[in-house]
Amino acid sequence: MKASTLFFCMIILLSACNSNSDNEAEVPLKNGIEKWELVRMTGSFINSETVGEDMEWQEYYLFNPNGTFFKSRKRDEVITQAMGTYEVLEEGDNKYYELTYETGKSLIASCYGNGKEILFYARGALNGTWNACDGPGLEYKLSSE
């Protein structure tokens, strides 16, 4: 119950932060395989932000037009991978991605423990929701590769 309340609070918060021009931005994942790389991690304390090589781990998603994804995380020279499916969902003007993991479930960055992960699209970035339950805030940007 608490997790679902946090989830809907996140939706309200993101919609309050978005301007109309953000909501009208082109939705990603329309042009073939797209790579989204982790670019920023935040903690629950003020000024607890890390970027680039200073982050605790490096990771990326590959989203395929057929509704599948691949995730790779490198932490302490160990690479862990996951695969699954995703859906692009809309809640009012907000867009988010619901990922369902088939493999690599240890990489799920979620509060729910249900094999799923939610990423919100806001201001040109995908943002994780793990920070709603004391996980790190994760921000991904579309790679130019």
Q: What is the DSSP letter of 122?
A: E
Q: In 10 A of CB 25, how many CB atoms?
A: 14
- Whole-model pTM over 0.85: no
Per-residue pLDDT tens digits for 23-62: 333 445 556 899 999 999 998 777 789 999 999 999 999 9
Q: Is the pLDDT of residue 5 over 50?
A: no
Tell me the average pLDDT of the chain: 82
Domain range list for the chain: 2-142
- How far is residue 15's CA from residue 38's CA, in Å, rounded to a whole number? 22
Helices (H) and strands (E) in the chain, counts: 2, 9
- How far is residue 6's CA from residue 114's CA, in Å, rounded to a whole number? 16
Q: What is the DSSP letter of 10?
A: H
CATH number for the region 2-142 comes to: 2.40.128
